[in-house]
Chain A
Amino acid sequence: MSAVRIINGRVLDPANGESGVVRDVVIDGGRIVDAKGFTGATETIDARGGVVMAGAIDIHSHIAGGKSNITRLLMVEEQRANREPAGDFCGCGGGLSTMTAHATGCRYAEMGYTAVFEPAMVAANARHMHAEMKDIPFLDTGGYVVLGNDDFLLDLISSGAGQQAVNDYVAWQLAATKAMAVKIVNPGGINAFKFNQRRLDLDEANPHYEITPRTILTTLIKAVTELGLAHPIHLHGCNLGVPGNEDTTLATIAATEGLPLHMTHVQFHSYGTEGDKKFSSGAAKIAEAVNANPNISIDVGQVMFGQTVTASADLMSQHRNRGIASPKRWIGMDMEMDAACGIVPFVYKEKSFVNALQWAIGLELFLLVEDPWRIFLTTDHPNGAPFTTYPHLIRLLMDKDFRDEHFARLPKAVRKHSIVGELKREYTLEEIAIVTRAAPAKILGFKDRGHLGAGAVGDVVIYRDDPDREAMFTKADYVLKNGQVIVKDGEIVSVAYGQTHQVAPDYDTGIETKLDRWFDEAMGFKAKTFKIADDEIRDGQGAVTHATTRSA
């Protein structure tokens, strides 16, 4: 493959402090090189009138694994309504909130995304998730292993095994499941539901282990900090979707005592109980707390109107929501002394007070959190909406008139309860580049992604600088993956496959004796069967192991 020189484009590279400077970007051998010093032959792409950015990175999108398959199973009519014929680069994919592996890669690539992370990889299901990711083209991928409801961990904590044993176990799980980070879903709550407990607040005890979500959270925050993982604990907190959960969210921020924590789909955790309907926006309070605590980062989980499917490991919450399933069907599963899953199809309605306020709460968070390096653009695909709504969301953030127009359509009661109309902030292009590229790379610890400096991978996007930002971000003019043009004029023109990112901090192998016994006795199969071998990841090709500060 010859080198590629992109000329005349306005380069937006916040990680390197470049905000619209016109310069050449050269990719050689799959990596960005110093354009001025490069003298070899190149293919040239003229990006005049365009904006050049690094490939976008989504840190939270449910794209693979058993729960994605359940969404497809439950929503066959959606699959039928969104069929993609097989072509040179496509493969009979389909779906929207239930996209196939192939369609997921295509739709993300067309928008300029080149890396997407599955944030809820249940350890027992990790082998499935990796097999599915192998079939997603164009994207670098990785998974966050779900811990915090696994009986082995809860037993370790409640029996007083100590932080070191927890750290060793967490490191073992990361290695065994080939994970990139640690996710906690409703700490202790999924487990408590298996013992028939229906709610679990931050300081309520698990009925069996008698430990609280706070203890689980702080223990795991310490573990990933001491193991030296770049990405902090990725937390889906307690009481998802429950009115009044703003207090839990604020208490959770306080519980970190300054240690790093990423709180995910915070829109679903920012609810107050004010007003006639006992449902109100807690966004201002949450944003204030995020602004005041530099150790906290969030992604929003923006809600958009229309049909989707909610998919979560949080069976406690999903069982509570089963009555509002639309269409009326849902699937729940307890999984392997590990976690669970709950899939509930759902329609967000513009005329519904609660749904419309959810939409507004998400936007309030986006507009009130000041530091774009600590807030991430997500819809929690497919929970808040399919990821294909990102361009619309970007326009809502960048264009106040457009936002006000949409806000004006909401029921009066909602407008009375939201400050969206009063918020004047408009995201700049540079801020969009931060929330979709530079900041995700930084929070995942990538040194060679999310920017356009020499040495970065050749994942580069050229957007037409269209005043209609929704149109601009819907279809990129060019997308290059490792220097190969995969999208031209918004259409896929060639196929490339990404890599799987993981971490593997070292640990005291003494923990393995305990785990061997645990698997033999409790799980009923062997720990060595559970552990995923290197050659199982993309057929032994394309795995990238990131150093952790402790092992580095």
Chain B
Amino acid sequence: MAEMTSHDVVCPFCGIGCDDVTLTVDGAAVTAAKGTCGRAAELFARSGAPAPSARVAGKDVSFEEAVAEAAKRLDASKTIAYAGLGTDVDGVRAVLKLAAKTGGSVDHYASEGMFRNLASSQRKGWVATTFAEVRNRCDLFVVVGPDPSKAYHRVYERVLPATGRFVEGPRRVVFLGGAPTEDAKSQLEGLSVEIIATPEGGLVDALSQLSALVAGSVPPGASPDIKALAEALKAARYGVLAWSAASLDDDGDLVIERAVSVVDTLNVTTRAACLPLSGKDNLTGAYHATLWNIGFPLRVGFRDGVSDHDQTAYATANAVKGADLVVWTSAFRPELPPESSAAVIALSHPDTVFDTEPDVFIPVGQPGLDHQGLAFRADSVVGLPLRRHRDAGLKSVADVVTLISEARA
């Protein structure tokens, strides 16, 4: 087969949604070049070796046998934890439909950060923004906590180019309680970058001070740097507070709550917004599809055909403790299922190297490489169209889950 090159491919992995990737496909082999960050190039790359066979208890079986075994195990299980959920929107829909029939909990493996965000937004709300607004309007960008570019590699290149349509003069970027990586520094070249250090565990305090200062009071012990930042935010035309919720510490909920409050106060007199980042492996799409289909955000549970939502009980880490079966889906990368004493059905990336062989393994295609699909960008608003670029004989999670569901007694 002739080598094929696809340009402007959409990258589905971290949620930034870069759409300038070039993929070269030769048979089943894939090389990613221009446009990809190192992480995405690695995730897109395929050796060209044929996909592994489906397996039951470590033994190669036909696809149909694996589907039949998975269906049998679902029927025999009392408590099922649907975990991973690294799949496109159609895959999420299929898992939700199956979970509604079998009962069990549903969670995405990377949802911990998102729930730190939801802890604030669900209870009190917030004013948020999207990438293009930041790109064109933001004159003061405050990174709250650790540098998000560790997870979202090209975030600054995408949202903070040197000039913005409505930004007069150089943009200011302030790292509050964190510092830019070397890669981030090069993406931010030409911008005014400052660092406000906070003592270990002091981010909540710093944001509390900031929140009080923008509201007009002067908290005792407020540092001069924070005072200056508060003044700068009040004077900014469009200040943005951004964070990667997954990289915040255990007090992330409080950090976010304070940051939300800063933005809320600023909007009384000027414009400001939050840019809460979370969205690895279509976490945002899984969150959205669960909301419109079930009415709750992720971490839903189905019992006797009725669904409910509980951020603690239905979190994967807790759900697997009482489960006798884990249904693991990870189509974007060879991520491993959680450790547990439960049996495991793994609908996984073909390159997955398991520590413990799952009871049923069915290799699945990657959305945006092996089949088309929909994923969501990390700012929650923009849907990313994923296209098919090769045929390695791998079915989508949606197709496999639907077949398993149909094979049930």
Contact = CB atoms under 8 A, between A and B. Distances in A.
Interface of A: 64, 66, 68-69, 72-74, 76, 79-80, 83, 85-87, 91-95, 98-103, 122, 124-128, 131-132, 135, 151, 193-196, 208, 319, 325, 328-338, 343, 522-526, 528-529, 532-533, 535-536
Of B125, B270, B288, B295, chain A has the most CB atoms within 10 Å of the CB of B295
A73 B289 CA distance: 12
B296 A72 contact: yes
B247 interface: no
B257 to A, nearest CB: 12
15 contacts: A72-B292, A79-B309, A86-B101, A92-B294, A98-B295, A125-B382, A125-B383, A331-B125, A334-B130, A335-B133, A337-B132, A337-B133, A525-B382, A529-B384, A536-B374
A73 B121 contact: yes
Contacts of A76: 122, 296, 309
B215 to A, nearest CB: 16
Interface string B98-119: 0011000000000000000010
Contact of B121 (A99, A122, A193, A331): A331
A257 to B, nearest CB: 33
Given A92-B293, A524-B132, A526-B8, 8 more contacts: A72-B292, A94-B294, A124-B132, A151-B136, A196-B237, A334-B273, A524-B158, A525-B17
B292 A101 contact: yes
B166 A331 contact: no
Interface string B270-303: 1101000000000000001101111111000010
A91 B89 contact: no
B20 interface: yes
A523 B133 CA distance: 8
Nearest to B374: A131
B296 A337 contact: no
Contacts of B381: 66, 122, 124-125, 128, 333, 335-336
B368 to A, nearest CB: 12
B376 to A, nearest CB: 7
B258 interface: no
Given A131-B374, A194-B133, A522-B136, A73 B291 contact: yes
Contacts of A91: 97, 100, 293
Contact of B306 (A83, A131, A325): A83
Contacts of A343: 125
Nearest to B237: A196
Given A73-B118, A92-B302, A334-B130, A127 B374 contact: yes
Contact of A208 (B17, B123, B166): B166
Contact of B123 (A79, A196, A329, A528): A329
B297 A194 contact: no
Nearest to A520: B20
B171 interface: no
A331 B293 contact: no
Given A127-B385, A131-B89, A536-B374, A329 B132 contact: no
Interface size range on B against A: 35 or more
Contacts of B89: 131
B165 A151 contact: yes
A196 B271 contact: yes
Contacts of B131: 336, 524
Contacts of A124: 130, 132, 381-382
A96 B197 CA distance: 47
A525 B273 CA distance: 21
Nearest to B263: A332
A83 B307 contact: yes
A86 B100 contact: yes
B274 to A, nearest CB: 9
A132 B294 CA distance: 12
- Among all A-B residue pairs, the 8 with the closest Cβ atoms: A127-B383, A86-B305, A79-B295, A329-B125, A332-B127, A92-B307, A94-B295, A69-B291
B118 to A, nearest CB: 7
A330 B383 CA distance: 23
A522 B158 CA distance: 10
B127 A333 contact: yes
Interface in B119-163: 121-133, 135-137, 158-159, 161
A63 to B, nearest CB: 10
A367 B60 CA distance: 73
A116 to B, nearest CB: 15
A315 B101 CA distance: 40
B295 A95 contact: yes
B308 interface: yes
A179 to B, nearest CB: 15
Nearest to A64: B292
Nearest to B133: A334
A135 B93 contact: yes
Contact of B159 (A208, A524, A529): A524
A92 B291 CA distance: 11
B347 interface: no
Given A128-B381, A151-B165, A529-B384, A73 B297 contact: yes
